[in-house]
Every structure is written in structure tokens, then in C-alpha cells.
Amino acid sequence: MTDTSMLILIAGPYRSGTDGDPEAMAANLAYLEAAAWPVFAAGHLPVIGEWIALPVLHAAGAGPTDLLADRVLYPTAERLLARCDAVLRLPGDSTGADQDVATARRRGLPVYYDIAEIPVLTRQEHP
């Protein structure tokens, strides 16, 4: 249990199962982002790798289905995990999220599988 705020990587499906469909990827990102408020409301700082990786890809003139994506998405999560304190692994098949969990475990970081498992430092109600 922690008594200080954590930077928590929210990991789950983004491209997995979408066959490159932009609407399906947007729905998966919305699914990941839905966990951001509860993490924040508990007193922590949520982060999603795609929040960083997608602008990097865009700046390189690429998108999430381009060949460059694997060279940006996975390394972004790896670099983020060097600074994160924990991972929240949401349900759903995802090679990248499974890699995030494996990296977190190697680094001795807690991995939560439900928002209710995350220690609550503050309790903020939704506005």
C-alpha cells in the first residue's frame, strides 16, 4: 500500500482486434481513457502510452497502422514504464499490454487488474 501519489500506466487493447479500423481503435482508446478519471479521483496520475505515442507517430508522418507504429508504440510504453509506479491492466487481448505487465513485473512494480485494487489517497466525486 502506498501513501503517495503514483503515476499509473493504463494498459489494454488499442490496435488489437481492430484490423486497423480507425473507429475500432478510437473505441479502444475511449475504453482506456474511461479508466483515467477513477485513477485520478483516487489521487493518482493516469497515463496512457497512446497519449504520447500517437502524436510522435503523427509528427513522423505516420499513423497507428503504418510500419513505423511498432517502432514507436511499444518503445513508448517501455520508456514510460521506466517512470511509472504501477500498471492498471484492463481486460482485453493485447500483446502490448501483456508486454507492459511483463515489464512492470520485472521492475517490481505493482500490477492492478481492477480499479478497486488501486490504493485510494483522495476520493473525488465526478463533477
DSSP 8-state symbol, 88: E
Ramachandran angles phi, psi of 89, nearest 5°: -95, 110
- The helix or strand, by DSSP H or E, that contains position 112, with its residue range, turns out to be strand 111-112
Is residue 9 within 8 Å of residue 84, measured between CB atoms?
Answer: yes
Q: Whose grid coordinates read 513508448?
A: 76
pTM of the predicted protein model: 0.91
Give the mean pLDDT of 32-42.
96
**Whether 9 contacts 48, CB under 8 Å:** yes
- pLDDT at position 2 is 60
Residue 16: CB atoms within 10 Å = 16
In this prediction, residue 127 has a pLDDT band, given cuts at 50, 70 and 90, of: low
What's the CATH number for 7-117? 3.40.50.10400
Give the model confidence (pLDDT) of 107-120 as tens digits: 999 999 999 999 99
Q: Which three cell numbers stand for residue 32?
A: 482506456
Percent of the chain with pLDDT over 70: 94
Per-residue confidence band for 124, with pLDDT thresholds at 50, 70 and 90: low
B/e letters for 95-116, b = 16+ CB within 10 Å, e = fewer, are: ebbeebbebbeeeebbbbeebe
